[in-house]
Amino acid sequence: MAGLEDMEQPRQRGGATAARWAPAVDDEQALKVLELFGNPVEGEVRLPSRPESAATARRLAQCVVLRQWGLGPQVAEHTVLLVSELVGNAVRHTGARVFGLRMLRRRGWIRIEVRDPSRGLPCLMPVGELDTSGRGLFLVDKLSDRWGVDLLPRGKTTWFEMRVTDR
């Protein structure tokens, strides 16, 4: 992914701060990502199934939620975290070469979809306090209002929805 080497996940300071927005640098990087990969609001964006694509997906989600949709930082923070979890699952567990990211908005709701060619269903597992992995769907379940999986003829779409306040 030429030109994206410097686009890593923002450094976390304290709690979950994945959606902090530093306008000068992040705007330029977000616009570069939108230009290179496309806008997930206009159609599915296909990304290579590699760990570094999670950073690209987070950057796209952050840009859409904060800049295009004008939603608040808490919604952006949760969206970025949950996008990262769904993308991580698609990369780690499906064996896919690519996955798709799509973002939809309707009055009072946002919906984020990650599509991959595997028909293997994700499983919400109980999470212990000291567990260091397996928290992805647990977080999706806790932070989203709804989530699910739609089986497709060739693969699946894992999605989550959150209520938002329209301005």
Q: Where are the alpha helices (DSSP H) in 2-151?
A: 23-37, 53-63, 73-93, 136-143
Position 9 in a domain? no
Position 63 in a domain? yes
Position 3 in a domain? no
Position 75 in a domain? yes
d(CA 78, CA 140): 9
Position 102 in a domain? yes
d(CA 98, CA 50): 8
The model's pLDDT over 137-162, given as tens digits with 9 standing for 90+, comes to: 889 999 999 999 999 999 999 999 99
Pairing, β 45-48 against β 109-116: unpaired
The model's pLDDT over 36-56, given as tens digits with 9 standing for 90+, comes to: 889 999 999 999 999 999 999
Position 46 in a domain? yes
Amino acid found at 31: L
The model's pLDDT over 12-37, given as tens digits with 9 standing for 90+, comes to: 333 444 444 444 456 777 778 888 88
Q: Which CATH number is 123's domain given?
A: 3.30.565.10
d(CA 46, CA 117): 12
In the chain, how many domains are there?
1
Domain boundaries, position 133: 23-163
Position 4 in a domain? no
Position 53 in a domain? yes
> For residue 65, what pLDDT is reported?
95
